[in-house]
Chain A
Amino acid sequence: MKRQIRRIWRRSPAALLREAALRLFLTGLTLAVLFLFLIPMAYGVVTGLKTGYQIAQSDAPWWPASVETITYEGKEYEVYYVPIDGKEKPMALYKKGRKASLLLDPENLEAGPIEWQGNWRSLKRVWRFDPQWQNFVAVWETIDFPLLLKNTLMFAGITTIGAVLSAALVAYGFARFRIPGKNVLFMVMLSTVILPGAITLIPTYYIWLRIGWVGTWKPLIIPAFFSWGTNVFLLRQFFLGIPRELDEAAMIDGASPLRIFISIILPNAKPALTAVALFHFFWAWNEFFGPLIYLAGHPEKFPITVGLTQFNNLYSQSAHLIQAASLMSAALPLVVFFFAQRVFMQGVVITGVEK
């Protein structure tokens, strides 16, 4: 700290000013970009809290609101801003007329309708802040969110276990054993990750069809237990970093490779295993194409992604409901992310930079 202070005083005021300006500019730039970047999120939240009516009205404010009304003699009347005596007073429109209208003073209802000269069309309505939290409830029930959530959780949970387990086994094989053609196999595995998977789709789909498992989750869950290239890659990198001396010590004590795997490698790889689990969990949460083709026609088995799409197809006119539904789908992954962000980003780095 002292060194920094000395360094600052050594520099000229011009350089300090320049640095401060640069800091201001770049930080401001980042904030501006961040703001624009996250605007759709704000839009989603705000729109999700509006009524369908508000969205269609051109004079509505951008925040969730509904028109102020008062009840008089059993009927509702909308409140407008009326210029009276030089001030804009909120008055309810009792009877609309082209040249003159009848108004009601909300603070003085007993006085009855007051006549006002002017075109009512020139008046602006009074909107008050009115977030429609019940939109979320409505969506929850219409889309049967608990069912979608259950399906998605089941899929994500089971496949994560399978993915981590199988990837760990395979990564251990690549990391610790000398096998003829190991490097070739590794390259082949990497290329299966990169190249388009559609090529395997038709025969695989047909076989599942013949077995009779199309329409169930099985075609989507079973492949997860056979390991996925990126997970293996990440774990292999990590396993290579675990010192061999630990293995060797166990070997001296007569441990079999399986024993070493369970007792030495796995406990030492917890960060990497967690990262793989998280990655896979989010990937599964996001899965769309697989469930789309294998679960078509079985809405009771849909995950959130497909259910949301179907909801959009039915209710695309109701922007507020669509936004509310989208936010609901995003809620759980976001919450998990905020708790696990460090692990996540480290995992991204390991996978990405090593290539």
Chain B
Amino acid sequence: MPRVPWPFRKRSRKAPRRKWGRLERKEALWGLGFLSPWLIGFLLFYLFPIIASFGFSLFDFNPAVPDQARFIGWTNWRYALFKDPEVWLSLKRTLHFAVISLPISLGFALFLALLLNSKYVLGKSVYRTLFYMPTMIPLVATVLIWNGVLNEQTGWINVLIEKVLGIEATGVNGIRWLADPDLVYYAYTMFGLWGIGNPMIVFLAGLQGVPTELYEAAELDGANWFRKLIHITIPMITPVIFYQLVLGVIGALQYFLAPFVLNGGTGFPEGKTRFFMIYFYKQAFSFFNMGYAATLAWILFIIALVLTVILFGTARYWVYYTAEERA
């Protein structure tokens, strides 16, 4: 088979690998040229800083007085991993929050997607837009609006709970969403529900990708909606669930904005909202302990990496790819 220059060629997998000639080199160079913004950016803003960050972690470093930086070797690491209680505590709080908020958020997104995919609901496209709309609101504004709505005295959530369910929710003995240490994570989850638009749309697309033949076959065997949900719908969308889960876990690890805007990072109530990134921010930009902060950032990175690997590892057992998707 004669060699045909780019872009006419679509190399078949069975063809033997050929030596790099002038044309291939030219193509590769052009390609690299187009990739250069990312390549340069990757080196400048990602790879180099990551390595440098590791270097920083070996120093006691205050950027305000850079000449006084001392090399202290593994001291930062030993302190962070073994001696500083706040590191593991804040990590525990972050994971605790993730365990509460992720199932609720993803479950709600899936629930909405199922509703919006149902043939029995009228006016779906309007609802879709309306459910998606709050993702457009800047997160700071979302947090502040929800902060008001969850207010124990005048907030409508408590007023509604009282009127509809009859439990005493307002007043001194009421439900104090943001001040009760046991409830505050649920309150923060509620803020996050306004951002449910993206997962909802992705789930919706996933649901629409489920082949209808499966449902028809199940109906022939007499399956009701519940069985169809459990045995067809959910298994078929496990790739989407997996994708959202990975993103969700990584996002939860970096949770920062809500506690910072509401409490300035003090961790109110009772320190429960002092998440890992809040501690990082304090070390880096309040105490200017940048060497230590670099250590913390590396620890977070490693944990994220480990969790991602674990998730990808377990994927084999519960994520079901159809033949076309298994690339």
Determine if A108 is an interface residue (Cβ-Cβ < 8 Å).
no
Contact flags A162-203 to B (C-beta < 8 A → 1, else 0): 000010011011101111101001001100101111111111
Contacts A37-B131, A173-B33, A247-B7 given; does A202 touch B257 at CB 8 Å: no
Query: Which residues on the B side are within 8 Å of A353 (C-beta)?
Result: 202, 205-206, 209, 240
Query: Which residues on the B side are within 8 Å of A180 (C-beta)?
Result: 28
Query: Which chain B residue shows the least CB distance to A336?
Result: B136
How many interface residues does A have (CB within 8 Å)? 96
Footprint of A on B, CB under 8 Å? 6-8, 24, 27-28, 30-42, 44-46, 48-50, 52-53, 55-56, 63, 112, 115-116, 118, 120-123, 127-134, 136-142, 144-146, 148-149, 151, 154-157, 159-160, 193-194, 197-198, 201-202, 205-206, 209, 239-240, 243, 246-247, 250, 253-254, 256-257, 260-261, 264, 277, 280-281, 284-285, 290, 293-294, 297-298, 300-301, 304-305, 308
Docked-complex contact B148 and A312, CB < 8 angstroms: no
Other 12 A-B pairs with CB < 8 A, given A305-B139, A309-B261, A323-B148? A22-B120, A30-B127, A47-B148, A179-B28, A195-B305, A196-B250, A200-B50, A203-B52, A205-B63, A326-B141, A349-B205, A352-B198
Docked-complex contact B6 and A178, CB < 8 angstroms: yes
Docked-complex contact A200 and B31, CB < 8 angstroms: no
Docked-complex contact B261 and A312, CB < 8 angstroms: yes
Option from B32, B140, B156, B209 in Cβ contact (under 8 Å) with A39: B156
**A289 vs B277: C-alpha distance when bound (angstroms):** 11
Minimum distance in angstroms from A325 CB to a CB of chain B: 8
Stretch from A66-74, A122-130, A225-233 at the B interface: A225-233
Query: Which residues on the B side are within 8 Å of A348 (C-beta)?
Result: 197-198, 201-202
Minimum distance in angstroms from B297 CB to a CB of chain A: 4
Determine if A304 is an interface residue (Cβ-Cβ < 8 Å).
yes
Query: Which residues on the A side are within 8 Å of B239 (C-beta)?
Result: 355
**A179 vs B36: C-alpha distance when bound (angstroms):** 12
Contacts A177-B28, A198-B254, A348-B198 given; does A26 touch B121 at CB 8 Å: yes
Docked-complex contact A44 and B38, CB < 8 angstroms: no
Minimum distance in angstroms from B276 CB to a CB of chain A: 9
Determine if A296 is an interface residue (Cβ-Cβ < 8 Å).
yes
Docked-complex contact A39 and B49, CB < 8 angstroms: no
24 residue pairs from A and B, CB less than 8 Å apart: A26-B120, A30-B127, A33-B112, A37-B193, A38-B130, A44-B145, A169-B37, A173-B34, A192-B46, A198-B280, A201-B297, A202-B294, A202-B297, A203-B48, A203-B53, A206-B63, A226-B37, A244-B7, A247-B7, A251-B7, A296-B285, A334-B137, A341-B129, A348-B202
